[in-house]
Structure 1
Amino acid sequence: MHFPYSVSRGWKAKASPVADEPQVIGPYPLAGVANQHWQTGTVQHTVVVITDIHAPPAVIFDLELDMDEHSASLRKTDEVAVTSTGRPALEEGDEVSFTARHFGWRFSMTSRITQYNRPYSFTDEQVRGPFTAMQHEHVFDIQPGGWTRMHDRFTVTAPFGVLGHLALRLAVGPYLRRLLEQRAAHIKTRAEADTPFVE
């Protein structure tokens, strides 16, 4: 099952259930399923988080690309974000380098904004970091009444193997979901506080 784009370039809302076993499937892996790629020797895991926010897409889009807000939303990880431009707000082609504490260790990753379509969607991808590959798709679907359904689709690829699969399925995947949910809750609070909403 995949998540087709809607007219506003957003992913449709229902995520697939988590399967008990890894599956080799089409171009978009099931939400929350470790997806084995035998030919490339990697294992892939995708987490989808959907959040309904009573604010316009443009407000949420800008908050999501504000690295000061990003660090504030993940304060417990001691995250520091340094942008390639020196500005907190990112645009297409900009890079940001993160350092943060996860699982008791200090990790670093640099990401680039590879797709930018304000206020509907943007994508950031790992340039350097702990994963073989990482892609985070952000989609903002305006709903009847003017509120927004925000979709986070976070896909990581790691070296294949029993340990790699177990790490993604049992530790990294659930941990990434908690981080995405924590960040989404922060963005929801900020967006709804900044724009009092009347349906």
Structure 2
Amino acid sequence: MQRIELKTEIKADRNIVFDLSRSIDLHKISTEQTNEEAIAGKTSGLIGMNESVTWRAKHFGIYQKLTSKITEFDRPKHFADEMVKGAFKEFKHEHHFAELNGGTLMTDFFDYESPFGILGKIADNLFLKKYMTELLTERNRIVKEFAESEKWKELIKK
């Protein structure tokens, strides 16, 4: 099992950062480079406990579908989504939010296992872990951009 851990300091209220992180619409914005589209389940707005979303996205030149479900939810401290169906053998993405100097420290733990046994482990080391880290880093950059400006008001109502 691979783990990616990212910490992002955001100068914004924890409730805003939490809600942006579970916004289907913000996710679409942050993944424009992979043409991600919510095609089933919760397809817009804020996803919540026991809700799922199916994404269609282009990775490595191939369109793929992935369904994830919110399995843990403690607003505004943390939530987790887990893959129900998709290309990975499994994954769990934990999102944690702590107050920090009047702002928020957002911490991501992305645990995943690639399919195909040893070949999957080789792919992880050669390119997949770096690729996933870049996707998550870009997503966090967009969360930060929206939270630290007035843009968050376009996506969530306080």
TM-score (norm 2): 0.90
- Judge conservation of contact 2:24–2:43 (CA < 8 Å) in 1: no
Paired residue for 2:123?
Answer: 167
Is the radius of gyration larger for structure 1 or structure 2?
1
Deviation at 1:153, TM superposition (A): 0.8
C-alpha spacing 1:76/1:86, structure 2 compared with 1 (3 Å) = closer
Unmatched 5+ residue regions in structure 2?
152-158
Between the aligned partners of 1:170 and 1:125, the Cα distance in structure 2 is: 24
C-alpha spacing 1:79/1:85, structure 2 compared with 1 (3 Å) = closer
My pick for the range that moved more, 58-67 or 81-90, is 81-90
Unmatched 5+ residue regions in structure 1?
1-43
Runs of 4+ in structure 1 off by over 6 angstroms are none
- Judge conservation of contact 1:46–1:154 (CA < 8 Å) in 2: yes
Aligned partner of 1:72 among 16, 26, 29: 29
TM-score (norm 1): 0.72
Paired residue for 2:86?
Answer: 129
C-alpha spacing 1:86/1:77, structure 2 compared with 1 (3 Å) = closer
Task: Give the total of aligned pairs.
Answer: 151
Q: Deviations over 1:115-173 (max 9, x none)?
A: 00000100000001111111000000111x31111011111112464322110111110
Q: Deviations over 1:41-89 (max 9, x none)?
A: xxx1111111000001100111111101101011111000145245421
- Tell me how large the CA RMSD over aligned residues is: 1.5
Kindly indicate which of the two structures has a greater share of residues assigned to helix: 2
1:116 and 2:73 correspond? yes
Kindly indicate which of the two structures has a greater share of residues assigned to strand: 2
